[in-house]
Amino acid sequence: MKTPRSWKTSAIALALAGVLGFSVAKMNPHLLPEAAASAQPVAAQAVTGVASPQMALPNFSEIVSRYGPAVVNISVTGQVKTANRAQQSPGVDPDDPFYDFFRRFGIPGPQGGGGEQAQPLHALGSGFIISPDGLILTNAHVVADASEVTVKLTDKREFTAKVLGADKATDIAVLRIKADNLPTVKLGEPASSHVGDWVLAIGSPFGFENSVTAGIISAKSRSLPDEGYTPFIQTDAPINPGNSGGPLFNLNGEVIGINSQIYSRSGGFQGLSFSIPIDIARNVEQQIVAHGKVTRGRLGITIQDVNQALAQSFGLKTPSGALVSGVEPDSPGARAGLKAGDIVLKLNGKTVDNSSELPPAIAAMAPGADAAMQVWRNGKTLDITAKVGEAQDTRVAAANPTQDHGRLGLSVRPLSPDEKQESGIAGGLVVEQVAGPAAQAGIEPGDVVLAINGTNINSADQLKSLVSKAGDHVALLVQRGDARIFVPINLG
């Protein structure tokens, strides 16, 4: 889960950057990645009428009983790059995590210089099943840098999951496990939810599996720094590290959001939690499953919110719309005639009340579609239609290569021509991801496998064939930087 640190509300409304090519004027917050978290369904029975001391609180047990089994725990292993303390002074401190690499591989420690080192990654989060054949939604930050993802169901079954894709812009990841007839959640419509409605989350805060918490929707369409594509649902349901990726349920037992971030000065819950609307998540999921990537529209404009002072300055009766503060040269917005100082009041006939509504709306449009806008300029309205462009930062990161890890636990690829020229290595395979026996032996992403049991390796198929014929032990000749050494691996 991510944690936005404390911020002050800016007099200048939060400007949103869109996948749309929007740049955004931000408040002054800092978003910190929170320990992978997961949250889960919300259960309750409808409550109507005005609250009174006699009114009973909703009972969430039925929702938990019915949809709780579709909420999963996610554990991740992998490696992340960190600053290498060992390279900042002569030798390697035995307490430094990188010390184990040199000890294991028998390579002399560095004698100074900068660089990075790989640190083991172990993270926990949550997710939920949306199809009986094993399709799962979670947060992208939960599975970031993962070499292996394990999904655990409430009945204690465990599966190795394949990450079909992870979209950092919306913090959505799509997983697949090989299973049938799985329990699933029911998806709802965030637009039908209201501020003050009860919601429920299920997840694994601090590793406490299948914990249930409840609260209310505190606000909708909430903007956060660097998150221009997502109009977050804000709640006061207790969410903590380990809840990330879990579902947020309404009283009908429908998932309306994915728990993603919290506002905290301590790293723990402080009354402000933020969830990604499920309709945005579903759009990302459908694109990843169908095309392997996410395509978003863009206008190439910078916007900000309109406060009372700005409304008066521009002659608007009420503070609403999205104020254009900048237009990229030769962008879709520029070609359509948008100018700095324009205020977008409507998009395709729908009123734009806040600037936070415009980026996700444009992002959801297909490149080439027409964006019909009603714009306020020089004290009067005019209609402008822009041909939506395509955002350039829409490449989806796949956490699992298409090639199977196999017995070794390696995903590999041939060296590129540039890599061969730079390294002077004629053959071999670059390690893309590592898990299982190879990870335990100390192999890392970026290593080059040159040979197995003395036989030079030139293709992934050759490596797979030789491993399949090997016994319980193999020796890989590995090159890392300028060092080359045989690494024994136990396959038994």
* Helix residue ranges, H only, 424-476: 436-441, 460-469
Is 201 in contact with 185 (CB distance < 8 Å)?
A: no
The confidence score (pLDDT) of residue 131 equals 96
pTM reported for the whole predicted model: 0.62
Range of weakest confidence among 26-35, 210-219, 303-312, 471-480? 26-35
Is 122 in a helix, a strand, or coil?
strand
Structure tokens at 13: 């409304």
Closest CA to 373 of 297, 461, 449: 297
Is 118 in contact with 109 (CB distance < 8 Å)?
A: no
Give the active site residues: 141, 171, 244
pLDDT in tens, 357-397: 898 889 889 899 999 999 999 999 999 999 999 887 544 55
Strands of 85-156, DSSP E? 116-131, 135-139, 146-152
Q: Which amino acid is it at 327?
A: V
Is 278 in contact with 17 (CB distance < 8 Å)?
A: no
155/40 Cα distance (integer angstroms): 16
Residue 401 CB neighbours (<10 A) = 15
Q: Given CA atoms 169, 254, 3, 360 in this order, what sign does their dihedral have?
A: positive
Q: Reply yes or no on whether the pLDDT at 247 is more than 90.
A: yes
Q: Which amino acid is it at 441?
A: A
Q: Reply yes or no on whether the pLDDT at 57 is more than 90.
A: no
* Helix residue ranges, H only, 184-277: none
31/4 Cα distance (integer angstroms): 4
Q: Reply yes or no on whether the pLDDT at 326 is more than 70.
A: yes
Q: Are strands 254-262 and 186-187 parallel, antiparallel or unpaired?
A: parallel
The mean pLDDT value for 428-432 works out to 87
